[in-house]
Amino acid sequence: MNRYFIDPDICKAETLPASFYRDPEVFNYLKEQLFARAFHYIGDQRELINQSQNTFPISLYPGYLDESLVLVKQKDDSLKLLSNVCTHRANIIVHHPEKSRKLQCQYHGRQFKLDGTMDRMPEFEQAENFPRDCDHLHRFDLKKIGNILFAGLGNQVPFQGVIDQIMERMYFLPLDEFKIDKKLSKDYLVNCHWALYCDNYLEGFHIPFVHEDLNEALDYGSYETVLYDYMNLQIGYADGAEEVFDLPKDHPDSGKKVAAYYYWLFPNTMLNFYPWGLSVNIIKPISPDKTKVSFISYVWDESKLQGGAGALLDKVEREDEFVVEGVHKGLKSNHYTTGRFSPTREKGVHHFHRLLSELFQ
């Protein structure tokens, strides 16, 4: 496996090389060393669990991670996220959302309590040292932002810290009132490496050249990037009378005309806050040459949908696709190796590349 180095000094640093995006071995390495250990968006609590059911199976990134989970509402209405794989012979336990008092594998009858504890198993009376801890269903960490649920597959990122940092600015929004708008939500298939799509998202450098409408809504000169350990924030300020947030007096950005807060959560989740609500973007790897991008729209104030930086999201996405697909093709050239970072405009990309390179040390 190649080792990658990104100089911590952005004024000296070079980008990840083209080989990073082309190499299938690197792609698979990141699946195991990054995605299988990270936090991932799994859905909206109100959509997954309702009054008529208490179990909901989830297949995380089918065809890539293929991690089978089940969200289970306990008797006290709390939620637990469990492995949906029987600890006897790896059969899938829950196939459809349902109401159940227990979790039972239909292969050999092993039963689990709703908290994942192994409860009963036929024909195991003579088995020694049974049950062991590994005979219970694995419990995954579960975190929430409003009603949005995130599954922690490992400890790659201290996610509670990420949530706390987001809430330093977003505390004033009634996130529990944000509701999914399925008409506005959409999936896109993009012919590029997943990390390349993130590269493009993490800088506003391209906005004046690629997004004419968005550039008119934002003050490019004031565009700002704030770096955290496993997250960064791009703040888009309004250029005129566009829709902006009504920020409270004690807010860190009080008095400023903020049109959008663009949060990127390592490695592949974007939370884009607009005056009308929130657009969650999930970047899902398929192959080194193909990525699925899911836009999930949470609307709070419909009256503000058509104005400002949060308008025309589909058009902006199509413009981004054209660019990143062009770059992906260009990375196959024998005459391109690495690029340089703009010290003033590409701090987010440099941050991302450093986090990725550290996985290979």
pLDDT tens for the chain, residues 1 to 361 = 678 999 999 999 999 999 999 999 999 999 999 999 999 999 999 999 877 889 999 999 999 999 999 999 999 999 999 999 999 999 999 999 999 999 999 999 999 999 999 999 999 999 999 999 999 999 999 999 999 999 999 988 899 999 999 999 999 999 999 999 999 999 999 999 999 999 999 999 999 999 999 998 899 999 999 999 999 999 999 987 679 999 999 999 999 999 999 999 999 999 999 999 999 999 999 999 999 999 999 999 999 998 888 888 999 999 999 999 999 999 999 999 999 999 999 999 999 999 999 999 8
Q: Report the C-alpha gap between 59 and 268 in whole angstroms.
A: 17
Give the tokens for residue 194: 């997943």
pLDDT score at 71 = 97
Q: Which is nearest to 344 in space by CA: 209, 205, 138, 251?
A: 205
- pTM metric for this prediction: 0.95
Q: Report the C-alpha gap between 297 and 276 in whole angstroms.
A: 10
Contact 267, 239 (CB under 8 A): no
Q: Report the C-alpha gap between 159 and 150 in whole angstroms.
A: 9
Place of tokens 């419990």: 139
Q: Report the C-alpha gap between 294 and 281 in whole angstroms.
A: 6
Distance of CA 77 to CAs 42, 55, 93, 187, 342, Å?
19, 12, 21, 32, 50
pLDDT score at 307 = 87
Contact 246, 301 (CB under 8 A): no
Distance of CA 212 to CAs 163, 207, 216, 261, 321, Å?
32, 7, 6, 19, 15
- For the chain, domains (ranges, CATH) are 40-152 (2.102.10.10), 176-358 (3.90.380.10)
Contact 265, 231 (CB under 8 A): yes
Distance of CA 241 to CAs 214, 220, 309, Å?
14, 15, 11
Contact 145, 156 (CB under 8 A): no
Give the tokens for residue 352: 């991302």
Distance of CA 271 to CAs 2, 86, 201, 279, Å?
32, 34, 11, 6
Q: Report the C-alpha gap between 248 and 257 in whole angstroms.
A: 12
